[in-house]
Every structure is written in C-alpha cells, then in structure tokens.
Chain A
Amino acid sequence: MTKRKELYAADSIKEIRQKMEKWGKEVYNTEKERQEPFRTFSGLPIKSLYTPEDISGIDYLQDMGFPGEEPFVRGIHPTMYRERGWTLRQLAGFGPPEETNRRYRLLLKEGATGINGVFDYPTLRGYDSTDPIARADAGRGGVAIDTLEDMRILFDGIPIEKISSSLVTCQPICNITVQSMYFANAQDRGVQLNRLTGTSQNDFLMETAITVAPEVLPPRFSFKLSCDAIEYCTQHVPYWNPVSFSGYNYRESGCTAIQEIAFVIANAIACSEELIRRGSHVDSFAPRLSFFLSAHNDFFEEIAKYRAARRIWCRIMKDRFGAKNPRSLAFRFHVQTAGVALTAQQPLNNIARSAYHGLSAVLGGAQSVHIDGYDEALCTPTELSALTALRINQILQLETGVTNTVDPLGGSYFIESLTGQLEEMIVTLLEKIDQMGGIVKAVETGWIHREISDSAYNYQQAIESGKMPVVGVNCYREEDEKLPMDLFQVPETLRIQEERIKKIKKERDPFRAQHALDEISRCCDENGNLMEVIVESVKAYVTEGEISRTIKGCYGTWNMPLF
C-alpha cells in the first residue's frame, strides 16, 4: 500500500479547525437557522459550512487525479467539453415507424447529434402490435416495431453509418430481436457491423423488476439474453455499447441516488463475472459497458453521485477484475432528466426543473444528455415540447459557459465531501448485494422489489407531509387550473401495423420463417448464444412476437413477486 499524501498540511488544518470553532460560537450561533433537518434526498446529513478540513483526508493523486486518468473522478476524457460537447440525444418514439422517422429527421435537422429511439410497450415486452393483450398499447410510449420491415422504415434516410443510435430496448427479450433487426437492416444497407456505433439498453433488471409486463422471462434467462448480446457485440460489433445499465429507470421507480448507483454497478459486476465465466477477457468487453442515469432534484447530490460512480467503477474494475485497459475503468454514462420530478400541474414550470437537472448532469461529466419535455407528466412530447427540450440542451451547451473548464466543481469542499460520503454508502450497499449472492439472486428473492418500493413509498410520504416541497402540487397549487398547451395525440398505429404484419406473413417464405424459429428453439435447447441465430432469423421476416414466444416456450415465464 503506497503511503497516502493528504491534501493539506496537518498544522493548517488544525488552525482552520480552531478558527472555525470560534466562528461557529461567536458568529454563526448568534444567527438563527431554519428548523429543519438539512439532508440530501438520500438522507445524508448536510453541515452548515464545509472547509478544507472536510477534504483534508483526500490524497489528490490517488483519490482524484486528472481527467482521463484513474480514478476518473474528474471526468473520463482529458479535455471533456473543451474538445466536444456532450451528445444532444433527445428521446423520441411514438406510433408507427413512419411517424417516428419524421420526428428523428426533425430533431437531427434542428441540431440533435444522436438518435435516441424508444419503443412502444408491446415491442419492449416482446409482443406484436396485434397480440390481443397488446392492441390497446400499440404505438404508445414509443414506436411500434414488429418486423425487419418496420426497422427499415424507422431508419429510412437516417445516416446510420455516420451518427450513433441509442436503442431503448430495455428488456433483453426485446433487445435480442430489435437490436438484431437494427444490425440486419444495417447489413441490408451495406453498412458493416464493425462500423456501426450506438447503444442498446439490454438490462435484465428492467425486465424483471423495473418495468414489468404480464409475463416475463425468469431472471436468470433474461440475464442470459443480456449477456448473449454483450458477447455477440464484443465479437462482431466492436463500436456498439451492447448494454446501458438503466439506473435512470430504477430511479424513476423509486430508488434513491445511492440505490441507483449500487444497483447499476451490481448489475455490471454480474455481467462481467458471467462474460469472464464464458471465457472472455475483461478488457475485451468492459470498455463497452455503459450506463444510463437520472438527474433528479437534489442538485449537489446528483453531481456528487456521478463523480462517486466513476471512482467506484474504476476501483472495482481494477481491483476485482484486474482490468488493464483504461477504457475498461472509465464509467461512461448518458443522462435523462428525471421525469418523475416533473408535474402535471403548471407544466411550464417543468422547463426550469429540467434545465436544472441538465445542469447537474453536465457538471457531473455526462457523455450525453436528454432533457425532458415540459409535458412529460401528461403525454408523449408534442413537437413544440420536444424542440423546446432540445433548445434547453443547446442553451446549456452554448450559452452558459459550463463547457469552458473540466470538472468545474472539483475541489469544492462540499462536493468532494459529498462524493466521498456517497461512495461509502454505495460501496456498503454493494457489499450487501454481494453477500446475498449477487444481483440475479437479489431479484429472484424479491429483495430488490422491496427495496425500491420502500423508497418509492418514503418519497411519496415526504411529498404528502410537505417535507418535500413540490411547487404547484403541495405548495403554490392553483385551483381550477387550465392547461396552457395542447397535448399530444398518438397517431393511428394498430391498423397500420396490422396490415403490414398481414402482408409480410403472406409474402414471406413460410418454410424459411419456420426454419428460423426452429433454429431459435434449437439454440435455446443447446444453451447457445441466441444473438448469433436471431440476427439471421429476422431476415426471414419472422415477427418479434413469434421470436419471443419461441424463447418463452423454451425458458418459461416468471411472475415477479407482488408487493
């Protein structure tokens, strides 16, 4: 163990402490504080003032270092936003693919620098639009994708060889097919897989704990599909991030900042262990593991959270997995501003909320940012709301000057203390999950569901009691409020998808389609990598529903523990 070199000399700290005690007694205590517990959202106590003493235990070179170097607290790139701004990646998706294609084109024309595509409820859960239990949800919450033909329409005219696409394929059961359709479509367009850039979410916790469905795969099989996709991409699609551990959604379900980071990292640990068990070297896949986080209301805690996550990840990858490649040690993340913090009441106030959220994300060193639309609590964003959100992102990047130096809050007594405190809490929670046997076990036993629902309940109680003020909801509420804007109407989807599926089933080669599904069954039985098979299967125009029914037929389904 190398000797630690503390940040400040012991005698200066001693003098600062003495002076502060005196100041506390003679000055501060003569004033009157508000009577409330000063705590972060996660419950960490906050002092009235932070001084060099609070960070004197830091060894600068070991604990902070320089951007682009271990332990990456100050950022994962040496130059950060001085070289290139964060990617403006605004989420979009609704209705049939032709409608979402139009929204993609609009956002790119207006300055978005990446695609961020969300899929509708049935697609995310592996159902065709025409499935009896899916029909009422076709085209809602995202775009409907049933076959390779839909994927072709969705990305028609979008330069996928040049810009990166993030596919919000959060459930592995969806990802394994929809990502395969994206790859197959790229091949059809003559773009080689080894040139494609983008990300898929592919997070088994999403399938089994966060956004659940009527029937889901048992956790260990959902986890297997997720690892299949990572393994496949490592070998064939080297610039693709095959997973984006979706702490954002954990947070939206109720998690605290501490749980958000602990659960994404526990998930990434499990995937790493599985990939290593399958024979991959950590440095072959770890550089492409990516994360997706929330930016919620507690401004400083959020900033500290991103910084703590980077330090924890670096140390785990190095000490636990022996990673050598610096890219394996760098915690890369996309941020979406917290939808759950937005209100249906006085919705224009959400513009201010999301702007603050976005500011915390970039002060925390995010690689790409989505700003929510002000109508998030009411509907899918209208064109006006989506464009306003993009403009907020652009104002942040171009007008505020926050891009001019790297990690501008690094060294703040408060931020560094909070970063250290959060790190400690997160590491403790990670140890607890380890003792349980890892994240897959924690899902199977329902522990994770209970943790999240407890946090969600506490959050709501804090709003109920007024302890957590929400402007327009539990204070400054307006009675008989009139909505100041139009709401989005989801365009007709089911009829279009129904006709398209019918046409495809009539025109496709039935023997080839059946063969494709048989191959998937065989691969499940042989415990092979399903991605390899499904990238080919989708070219036979089998539907997403047919593929996931085949997989569920082999692996069975699971009911998540009810609360």
Chain B
Amino acid sequence: MKKDIRVVIARLGMDAHWRGSIVVARALRDAGMEVIYVGNQMPENIAETAVQEYADVVGLSTLSGNHMILAPEVVRHLRERGMEQTIVVLGGTIPPDDVPKLKEAGIAEIFGPGTPLKKIISFLSGLR
C-alpha cells in the first residue's frame, strides 16, 4: 500500500484570508491526503512543522501580497533542514509577473484565483 501524501498547509505571515486555504485543505483531505493545517505562521516555523510532520508537500496561502518576501524563505528554511524532497506550492492572489520569479526561487507550482480544486489535487497526486 502506498502511503498517503502528507501536506502541511499554512497561511503566510499576517495574511487574513482563511477561506482559500481551508477549502483546499478540506478538498485534499477528501481526496485521501493527510493534511496538517497550521494557520498563520512565519517561514521558519512552517519549515519546522514540515520537518516534524515528514511533509511531502508544503502548501502556502496568501492574498496579502507578502509572497515575494516570505514564500522563498520557506523554501530556503526547508533546504537548510535537508528537506530537499519536500515540495512547496503557493495559492492566492499572485500577479502573473511574479510567477516565473517564484518558480525560480523553488516554488513548484502557483495556483491563482479561480484554480479548480481538481487541478490542485491532480498536481499533488502526481507526486507519488
């Protein structure tokens, strides 16, 4: 039996909007993944949680515009902890111009507003 995909979901920094992250968390859980929802956190704490939870995926959510500063830091903290295999994805209001820069910084995929849940589930399921 394959083990379930373990996903840590966090909202970056001070961002206030929980709707997207919660809806995605529930959809992933319904799709059979193991979801650890940690609410608002700073990058270092998110990476720490990912280590403790043996996370396959870290899912970040932000609508505040702080993604260019905080999302790459999550990747950096994970790599510093040797979590090379853990992938980081990001959802929220991300301007199209920022997408290539975020990918370059190690974010595996960006899911903007209006992304179907199916697309997120199939992207993460493809990791097995």
Q: Could you tell me which A residues sit within 8 Å of B by CB distance?
A: 121-122, 124-125, 127, 132-137, 140-141, 211-214, 252-254, 340, 343-345, 377-380, 453, 456-457, 460, 464, 470, 472-474, 483, 487, 490, 559-560, 562-563
Q: Given A121, A133, A211, A472, which contacts B42 in the complex, CB threshold below 8 Å?
A: A133
Stretch at the interface among B52-60, B77-85, B101-109, B114-122: B114-122
Q: Chain A residues with Cβ under 8 A from B113's Cβ?
A: 343-345, 377-378
**B77 CB, nearest partner CB in chain A, Å:** 14
Q: Chain A residues with Cβ under 8 A from B37's Cβ?
A: 562-563
> Is the CB–CB distance between B64 and A464 below 8 Å?
no
> Is the CB–CB distance between A212 and B64 below 8 Å?
no
Q: Chain B residues with Cβ under 8 A from A483's Cβ?
A: 96
| B58-103 CB contacts (< 8 Å) to partner A | 64-66, 69-70, 93, 95-97
Q: Chain B residues with Cβ under 8 A from A345's Cβ?
A: 113-114
Q: Given B17, B26, B41, B96, which contacts A457 in the complex, CB threshold below 8 Å?
A: B26
B28 at the interface (CB under 8 A from A): no
Smallest CB gap from A127: residue in B? B14
B15 at the interface (CB under 8 A from A): yes
Q: Chain B residues with Cβ under 8 A from A473's Cβ?
A: 114
8 intermolecular pairs with C-beta atoms under 8 Å apart: A136-B13, A137-B64, A212-B16, A252-B17, A252-B19, A253-B19, A340-B19, A563-B37
Q: Given A211, A344, A456, A460, which contacts B93 in the complex, CB threshold below 8 Å?
A: A344
Interface centre among A137, A140, A340, by most chain B C-beta atoms within 10 angstroms, is A137
In the complex, what distance in Å separates the CA atom of A557 from the CA atom of B93? 29
> Is the CB–CB distance between A121 and B15 below 8 Å?
yes
**A221 CB, nearest partner CB in chain B, Å:** 19
> Is the CB–CB distance between A464 and B40 below 8 Å?
no
Smallest CB gap from B16: residue in A? A211
Question: Top 4 A-B pairs ranked by shortest CB distance?
Answer: A211-B16, A121-B14, A136-B66, A137-B14
Chain A interface SS verdict (over half): loop
In the complex, what distance in Å separates the CA atom of A213 from the CA atom of B15? 7
Q: Given B22, B41, B65, which contacts A563 in the complex, CB threshold below 8 Å?
A: B22
**B75 CB, nearest partner CB in chain A, Å:** 15
> Is the CB–CB distance between A122 and B14 below 8 Å?
yes
| B40-55 CB contacts (< 8 Å) to partner A | 40-42
Known: A253-B17, A344-B114, A562-B37. 12 other contacts (CB 8 A): A121-B15, A133-B14, A134-B13, A211-B17, A214-B42, A253-B19, A254-B19, A377-B114, A380-B65, A460-B27, A472-B114, A563-B25
B123 at the interface (CB under 8 A from A): no
Q: Chain B residues with Cβ under 8 A from A254's Cβ?
A: 19
> Is the CB–CB distance between A343 and B14 below 8 Å?
no
Q: Mark B1-33, 1 if CB is under 8 A from A, else 0.
A: 000000000001111111100110111000000
> Is the CB–CB distance between B114 and A121 below 8 Å?
no
Q: Given B17, B25, B65, B95, which contacts A140 in the complex, CB threshold below 8 Å?
A: B65
Q: Chain B residues with Cβ under 8 A from A140's Cβ?
A: 64-66
> Is the CB–CB distance between B16 and A124 below 8 Å?
yes
* With known contacts A141-B65, A214-B40, A253-B19, A563–B114 Cβ distance under 8 A: no
Q: Chain B residues with Cβ under 8 A from A490's Cβ?
A: 65
> Is the CB–CB distance between A457 and B23 below 8 Å?
yes
**B55 CB, nearest partner CB in chain A, Å:** 16
Q: Given A135, A253, A472, which contacts B18 in the complex, CB threshold below 8 Å?
A: A253
Q: Chain A residues with Cβ under 8 A from B116's Cβ?
A: 464, 474
Q: Given B25, B66, B95, B118, which contacts A378 in the complex, CB threshold below 8 Å?
A: B95
> Is the CB–CB distance between A464 and B14 below 8 Å?
no
Q: Chain A residues with Cβ under 8 A from B18's Cβ?
A: 211-212, 253, 563
* With known contacts A136-B69, A212-B16, A378-B95, A464–B118 Cβ distance under 8 A: yes
Smallest CB gap from B67: residue in A? A136
**A91 CB, nearest partner CB in chain B, Å:** 15
Smallest CB gap from B26: residue in A? A457
Smallest CB gap from B24: residue in A? A460
Smallest CB gap from B23: residue in A? A460
**A124 CB, nearest partner CB in chain B, Å:** 7
Q: Chain A residues with Cβ under 8 A from B70's Cβ?
A: 136
**B126 CB, nearest partner CB in chain A, Å:** 19
Q: Chain A residues with Cβ under 8 A from B14's Cβ?
A: 121-122, 125, 127, 133-134, 136-137, 213-214
Smallest CB gap from A463: residue in B? B116
**A184 CB, nearest partner CB in chain B, Å:** 25
* With known contacts A124-B16, A343-B113, A464-B117, A379–B64 Cβ distance under 8 A: no
> Is the CB–CB distance between B23 and A456 below 8 Å?
yes
> Is the CB–CB distance between A378 and B13 below 8 Å?
no
> Is the CB–CB distance between A487 and B26 below 8 Å?
no
> Is the CB–CB distance between B22 and A379 below 8 Å?
no
In the complex, what distance in Å separates the CA atom of A470 from the CA atom of B116? 12
